[in-house]
Amino acid sequence: MMTIEEFGRRLRAREVTAEHVTDGCLRRIETDNPRLNAFILVMADDARRQALEADKALAAGRDRGPLHGVPISIKDLLDMRGLPTTAASRVRDGHLANRDAAAITHLRQAGAVFIGKTNLHEFAFGTTSEDSAFGPARNPHDPARSPGGSSGGSAASVAAGMALASIGTDTGGSIRIPAAACGTVGLKPSIGEVSIDGVVPLSRTLDHVGPLTQTVSDACLVYHALLGDGRVTPPAPMPLHGVRLAVLRRYFCDVLEDEVRARFESALDRLRAGGAHVDDIDIHHATDIASVYLHIVLSDAAAYHATALETMPERYTPPVRLRLEMGRYILAEDYVRALEGRELLRREVDAALAQHDALVLPTLPIPAPPLGANSVEVGATTEPVRNLMLRLTQLFNVTGHPAISIPSGRTSAGMPCALQLVGCRMQTDALLRVALTCEPHVSSEVRS
């Protein structure tokens, strides 16, 4: 499957056309989407027209940069002018966006071809993409399993070759979790870098927009396009020798499925062997992360949904409705306590990064769970799926640090595992450079 970088080289060498590659993605959608349910809307005619225009523009000498003519899918949580933004919910029936989200505006300017809008967990409030008004999205590596969520359709679309990249959102891990579950790269930039204007919110204080791609280089290209800086080329990797990594052990590595743990330790061994300096480090208040996150996300989500919960509760899927209702019972004093905890956790992650280039931990403690599973056995314990899926990612939404998920091998059943790197706030480019450096040492072919 072609990366954006390879597509760009071959497009400019006149070896491929945007029309040809877009047609290939559309054929893959036709073949695989009935099985994977990754797309809510396929924009076949419009995508072909955009691709043709991209080819004509290039032939006329108008090159918009690295995303010129690249077929990209969009999570159906971002407004696209003239189209419904369903958020995978019947609550949004009849909606039509009258303008583009800021991220979409930037991608249009960068010359991207929009191939369709992808399925997600309803209102992005879940980690499995199974509670959707359009039915569950499925994992390309095993359709009986979840593709992760909430950007599950986005990850499935990239992993299955239905798009060269996708745009997702991440409030507690919703880019990184599906990226890990489907074997793609997923980048949550630093908080506030990529505009969330025109994105249906889950929590305006935790929401991020970012790319899902096949490689770190491609993530870098799409990230810069999302910033409105569509002509940047990826930085050169730095030498691995001397890169300082800190492994988050206590709490973060306490509950890991055996094969996930083995792939993680094996990736660390390869990084050490390549010359990286790898320390262990603790986040002192790690055991408070889940309660801090829960009180913030539930309160923020309940405020946005309060009216719809009263006027059309039957239009929500029952699990998402119940989750939203929980937030309406949180006391203001507890929300304030959570905000205090957020500041403390931010300072602790800053301190952990003070002497390191990046923090490192797995992205998911388990491989993609079976659809319909409420809990999963990990070692001697049985844990709720939602708690496990969020356990290793939600901290960096609370603190705002940039984080990227990179494939790190497969389980014996063929399901992807992933490693997460975390960088300093407002230094996403520096994190991407570390990720480019580490990627060849930790990644193996996991795409279907």
Partner 1 sequence: MWAPVWGAALAVPGDIMTIDAWLQAAIADAERRGLPELRPALEALARATTALRAADFNDHADT
* Interaction between residue 390 and partner 1 (CB under 8 A): no
Distance CA 444, CA 370 (A): 23
Q: Which of residues 292, 371, 422, 436 is near partner 1 by CB under 8 A?
A: 292
* Interaction between residue 407 and partner 1 (CB under 8 A): no
Distance CA 302, CA 309 (A): 9
Q: Which of residues 68, 323, 356, 425 is near partner 1 by CB under 8 A?
A: 323
Q: Of 89, 151, 166, 174, which one is the catalytic site residue?
A: 174
Specify the residue, 176 or 346, whose C-beta has the smaller distance to partner 1: 346
Tell me how far, at minimum, the Cβ of 345 lies from partner 1, in Å.
9
* Interaction between residue 322 and partner 1 (CB under 8 A): yes
**Listed ranges 26-34, 84-92, 105-113, 327-335: which one lies at the site for partner 1 (CB under 8 A):** 327-335
* Interaction between residue 374 and partner 1 (CB under 8 A): no
**What's the token pair of residue 341?**
């905890």
Distance CA 9, CA 110 (A): 16
Tell me how far, at minimum, the Cβ of 231 lies from partner 1, in Å.
44
Specify the residue, 280 or 343, whose C-beta has the smaller distance to partner 1: 343
Q: Which of residues 98, 311, 381, 412 is near partner 1 by CB under 8 A?
A: 311
Distance CA 121, CA 153 (A): 9
* Closest residue by Cα to residue 205 from 397, 59, 16: 397
Tell me how far, at minimum, the Cβ of 250 lies from partner 1, in Å.
16
Tell me how far, at minimum, the Cβ of 165 lies from partner 1, in Å.
36
- For residue 174, indicate whether it is catalytic: yes
Q: Which of residues 294, 366, 395, 419 is near partner 1 by CB under 8 A?
A: 294
Tell me how far, at minimum, the Cβ of 397 lies from partner 1, in Å.
16
Distance CA 273, CA 441 (A): 9
* Interaction between residue 381 and partner 1 (CB under 8 A): no
Distance CA 12, CA 294 (A): 48
Site map for partner 1, 176-195, x if CB under 8 A? --------------------
Alpha helices in 183-288 (DSSP H): 216-226, 258-273
* Interaction between residue 315 and partner 1 (CB under 8 A): no
Specify the residue, 164 or 289, whose C-beta has the smaller distance to partner 1: 289
Residues 6+ apart with CB under 8 A from 88: 40, 76, 119, 120, 121, 122, 123, 132, 133, 134
- For residue 89, indicate whether it is catalytic: no
Tell me how far, at minimum, the Cβ of 248 lies from partner 1, in Å.
19
* Interaction between residue 447 and partner 1 (CB under 8 A): no
Q: Of 132, 150, 203, 217, which one is the catalytic site residue?
A: 150
Distance CA 38, CA 36 (A): 5
How deeply is 53 buried, as exposed, middle or buried, from its count of CB atoms within 10 A (0-12, 13-18, 19+)?
middle
Specify the residue, 265 or 325, whose C-beta has the smaller distance to partner 1: 325
What 3-state class would DSSP assign to 271? helix
Distance CA 296, CA 303 (A): 11
Q: Which of residues 100, 288, 357, 439 is near partner 1 by CB under 8 A?
A: 288
Amino acid residing at 82: G
Q: Which of residues 233, 291, 355, 382 is near partner 1 by CB under 8 A?
A: 291
Residues 6+ apart with CB under 8 A from 318: none
User: For residues 386, 391, 392 and 398, what is the CA-based torsion angle, rounded to 10 degrees?
Assistant: 100
- Total residue length of the chain: 448
Site map for partner 1, 241-280, x if CB under 8 A? ----------------------------------------
Place of tokens 């899902």: 212
- For residue 56, indicate whether it is catalytic: no
* Interaction between residue 341 and partner 1 (CB under 8 A): yes
Beta bridge partners of 227: none
DSSP secondary structure, 319-352, as one string: HHHHHHHHHTT--HHHHHHHHHHHHHHHHHHHHH
Q: Which of residues 330, 373, 426, 430 is near partner 1 by CB under 8 A?
A: 330
**What Å distances lie between residue 254 and 271, 287, 361, 388, 394, CA to CA?**
21, 11, 11, 11, 16
Total site size for partner 1, rule CB under 8 A? 29
* Interaction between residue 334 and partner 1 (CB under 8 A): yes
**Listed ranges 120-128, 161-169, 337-345, 405-413: which one lies at the site for partner 1 (CB under 8 A):** 337-345
Beta bridge partners of 78: 199
| C-beta of residue 37 within 8 angstroms of C-beta of residue 71 | no
**Listed ranges 34-42, 124-132, 275-283, 317-325: which one lies at the site for partner 1 (CB under 8 A):** 317-325
**What's the token pair of residue 328?**
């309406």
Distance CA 219, CA 240 (A): 20
**What's the token pair of residue 367?**
């491989």
Residues lying near partner 1 in the complex (CB under 8 A) are found at 285, 287-288, 290-292, 294-295, 298, 306-307, 309-311, 318, 322-323, 325-326, 328-331, 334, 337-338, 340-341, 344
- Residues with a catalytic annotation lie at 75, 150, 174
